[in-house]
Amino acid sequence: MKIRMLVEMPEGSSRNGEAWPAQGETAELPTAEAAHLVASGVAEEVTAEPRPRRRKAAALEGEDEAT
């Protein structure tokens, strides 16, 4: 699960020997661990941005005729 850190972890703290991401940075963590951080308010889940919808050419041509 991808998360974004909402807080700065204490200096010197680490996860599996690596420093925690800084506030505002993202990380990919196992779901259970990420869910715990989200539930405790330390992080938020990063959701995929919806892709912009593209209009079909046929729909565009039909709009020109109706105008």
Q: What are the start-end ranges of the H helices in the chain?
A: 31-39, 57-66
pLDDT at 38: 96
pLDDT at 60: 56
- Domain residues of the chain, as ranges? 2-66
pLDDT at 66: 52
- The structure's pTM equals 0.67
12-64 tens-digit pLDDT: 899 889 999 999 999 999 999 999 999 999 999 998 776 777 776 555 555 55
For residue 38, the SS3 value is helix
Residue with tokens 């892709």: 51
Taking the C-alpha atoms of residue 5 and residue 21, their distance in angstroms, rounded to an integer, is 7
